[in-house]
């Protein structure tokens, strides 16, 4: 195996972990925003309920004034009945009094409706405030849990970055550049293990003589996949203990390259 391939494989393994950690970290703002949105929605509910209650109270005030005004008018007309001289004027006054009585009844009906719905608004305010308290308590816990997860992910990130720096120091600078150029173009994965007779990343068939070369312990050449351009390597799983075949199968597909094994 090429002497620099082993540290490159280690570099690839830690990079693969870094992709996962960074992906998780990138989800945190969204997760926090979702949690905050629940509190905001509950606050809006409280505000809307309070607004409805306030509007109801204002309307109630208006209807109370209507009742008072019509009562005042009816009283005034009644007082005038003793002063009228003609029968016609008396009839007209009676008509006005009746009209005022009707308006009083209507305004009182509206007032009663407002008072009933006012109680309902009051209940809604209390219910939405209680719901807000519950949601705030739940969200506080979730926020703490998310923060703890975030801190753990940051620690993991720092640890993986330290491992990466160590792995990188074992690879010549120009090779690191080469590796990073390929990784940048291919979703952070610059290495591909030979699997069967194909590239473990893109699946394209690899020419047999390339595989033979890579299998040779004395090999010091680099080979690239002709399709995805990733650096190819061969890991001899069959030389490893029994249970390794299961782990090799499990790591098939877009999994990180398996660690190199000594032949």
Handedness of CA 194, 196, 197, 200 (dihedral sign): negative
Distance, C-alpha 37 to centroid of its chain: 9
Candidate residues 8, 97, 182, 199; the one interacting with Zn ion per rule CB under 5 A: 199
Select the span of 66-74, 146-154, 225-233, 254-262 touching Zn ion (CB under 5 A).
Answer: 225-233
Nearer to Zn ion, 100 or 192 (CB): 192
How far is residue 263's CA from residue 261's CA, in Å, rounded to a whole number? 6
Candidate residues 49, 225, 235, 258; the one interacting with Zn ion per rule CB under 5 A: 225
Closest CB 184 distance from Zn ion, rounded Å: 16
**231 DSSP β-pair partners:** 191, 224
* Position 231 contacts Zn ion (CB under 5 A): no
Applying the rule CB under 5 A, the residues between 150 and 189 that interact with Zn ion are none
DSSP letter (8 states) at residue 251: T
Place of tokens 């509007």: 55
Handedness of CA 232, 238, 243, 249 (dihedral sign): positive
Nearer to Zn ion, 214 or 228 (CB): 228
SS3 track for 24-89:
HHHHHHHHHHHHHHHHHHHHHHHHHHHHHHHHHHHHHHHHHHHHHHHHHHHHHHHHHHCCCCCHHH
# residues near Zn ion by CB under 5 A:
6
φ/ψ (deg, to 5) at 22: -65, -35
Select the span of 2-10, 59-67, 224-232, 236-244 touching Zn ion (CB under 5 A).
Answer: 224-232
Binding track over 75-94 against Zn ion, x by CB under 5 A: --------------------
Select the span of 24-32, 69-77, 87-95, 223-231 touching Zn ion (CB under 5 A).
Answer: 223-231
Select the span of 54-62, 96-104, 198-206, 240-248 touching Zn ion (CB under 5 A).
Answer: 198-206
Nearer to Zn ion, 141 or 205 (CB): 205
Nearer to Zn ion, 175 or 206 (CB): 206
Interacting residue ranges for Zn ion, rule: CB under 5 A: 199, 201-202, 225, 227-228
């Amino acid at each position: 195996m090429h002497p620099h391939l082993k540290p490159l494989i280690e570099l690839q393994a830690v990079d693969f972990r870094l992709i996962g950690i960074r992906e998780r970290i990138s989800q945190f703002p969204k997760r926090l925003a979702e949690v905050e949105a629940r509190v905001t929605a509950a606050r809006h509910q409280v505000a809307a309920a309070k607004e409805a209650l306030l509007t109801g109270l204002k309307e109630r005030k208006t209807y109370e004034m209507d009742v008072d005004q019509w009562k005042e008018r009816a009283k005034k007309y009644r007082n005038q009945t003793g002063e009228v001289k003609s029968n016609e004027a008396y009839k007209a006054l009676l008509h006005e009094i009746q009209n005022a009585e009707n308006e009083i009844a209507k305004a009182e009906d509206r007032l009663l409706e407002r008072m009933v719905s006012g109680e309902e608004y009051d209940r809604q305010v209390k219910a939405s405030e209680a719901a807000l308290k519950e949601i705030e308590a739940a969200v506080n816990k979730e926020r703490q849990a998310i923060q703890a997860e975030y801190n753990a992910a940051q620690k993991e990130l720092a640890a993986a970055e330290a491992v990466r720096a160590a792995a990188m120091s074992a690879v010549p600078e120009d090779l690191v550049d080469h590796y990073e150029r390929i990784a940048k173009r291919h979703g952070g994965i610059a290495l591909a293990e030979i699997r069967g007779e194909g590239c473990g990343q893109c699946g394209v068939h690899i020419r047999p003589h390339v595989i033979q070369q890579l299998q040779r312990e004395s090999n010091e050449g680099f080979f690239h996949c002709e399709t995805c351009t990733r650096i190819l390597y061969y890991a001899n799983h069959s030389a490893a203990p029994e249970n390794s075949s299961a782990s090799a199968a499990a790591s098939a597909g877009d999994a990180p390259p398996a660690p190199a094994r000594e032949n």
